[in-house]
Amino acid sequence: MFTTVEGSRVPIRMWANPREVEQAAMQQLRNIADLPWVHGVAVMPDVHLGKGATVGSVIAMRDAVSPSAVGVDIGCGMSAVRTSLTATDLPDDLSRLRRRIEAAVPVGFSMHETPVDPRGVDSGWDRFWDGFSSLHPDVQNRRERALAQMGSLGGGNHFIEVCLEQGGPDAGRVWLMLHSGSRNIGKELAERHIEIAKKLPHNADLPDRELAVFVADTPQMRHYRRDLFWAQEYARRNRAVMVSLVQKALADTVPGTRFDEPISCHHNYVSEETYDGVDVLVTRKGAIRAGSGELGIIPGSMGTGSYIVRGLGNAESFTSASHGAGRRMSRTKARKAFTERDLAAQTEGVECRKDAGVVDEIPAAYKDINAVIEAQSDLVEVVAHLKQVVCVKG
């Protein structure tokens, strides 16, 4: 159940304990709730400090949207697919499977040497790429890079995992899971629109210029919506291509593997929805949609496992749920607090990188995913609990 925090122009509904949320994040939430365009704010149990807007927040606005609240990884989200395999079908040496996945999907700043042929993965590719010519003029020279990055992972907290279902009649069932977004093209588009928004006169007196908005019926809003929705579609297609590539890597390792239909959900995006009879633009910044019966994915860290969930359609949260465990310390603090030895200990039993380059992704830098799931029992129900045995990171 949620707690209501009063004192702002609109109340803040929190599925986190306000006393346990860092003071700077609470101030960000108050700044958001005081904006004149905001219809409501919902806060997920994985909430933590972000840039302008908190990660783990849902912001419903009337006739306005804040590009910084959406963030620079437009359309970032998750995909997962259940396989026909069980744990005993996997090779004893999981490093071989990890290498196959890493060979199939570029990670970090890498991209495909030759763009992936996406035919058979999805439909409408020609029309989708035709839309590139309508994007912001400054990115028109990025088309070839965007083509080459389609089907690539990126770095940071993005990952590809092979997981085993925990408990229940399907215990040991193998799943594939991945986390990624709109790559460089989403970042390039976001940064340009954020700078445009900050210079608009109606944003001059905001408590935080990172909350600058575009308003309805303006050229700036039309241009942002065009680029935003295209980038969200790029992110969705990017994950679909990667799922196909990872499926092939697994099937090459274990011939005869079959796959269910993938589950996919954004968790950094904007959607047009209606609540309380009001049409709003809902920004989920580190949150998934959890409409009644809708499947979603809530990952933990690289050593703790993840959850497949089904939404309960709770309108109080603007039909939303958390996007993950949420960080409990910054990347800088994590690198200072932990060592490679700590990382190895906390990812024991997982075939993954255990070097200094990913120490900031150590499980202890994240909140307890089980507690996060428990805190939103009125938002989602658990369908499956997964634990990774292979984790690929950039």
Q: Which active-site residues does the annotation give? A: 323
Distance CA 340, CA 185 (A): 33
Greatest CA separation for the chain = 62
Q: How many CB atoms lie within 10 A of CB 49?
A: 18
Q: What are phi and psi of 185, to 5 degrees?
A: -65, -35
Find all residues with CB under 8 Å of 219, minimum gap 6, and list them.
none
Q: What do you get for the CA distance between the two ends of the chain, in Å?
A: 36
Alpha helices in 150-254 (DSSP H): 183-198, 219-253
78: tokens are 């998750």
Instruction: Identify whether the C-beta of residue 320 lies closer than 8 Å to the C-beta of residue 284.
Output: yes
With the CA atoms of 35, 38, 39 and 40 taken in that order, what torsion angle do they form, in degrees rounded to the nearest 10? Answer: -80
Find all residues with CB under 8 Å of 261, minimum gap 6, and list them.
81
> If we measure between CA atoms, which residue out of 221, 277, 173, 177 comes closest to residue 66?
221
Q: In what order do the strands lie in the sheet with 38-48?
A: 3-5, 12-14, 38-48, 55-61, 278-285, 268-275
Q: What does each C-alpha distance from 36 to 60, 63, 213, 276, 327 come to in angstroms?
A: 12, 11, 11, 17, 29
Alpha helices in the chain (DSSP H): 23-33, 67-70, 94-104, 125-130, 143-149, 183-198, 219-253, 331-337, 340-346, 369-374
Residue with tokens 């910044």: 285
Kindly state the DSSP code that residue 96 receives in the 8-state scheme. Answer: H
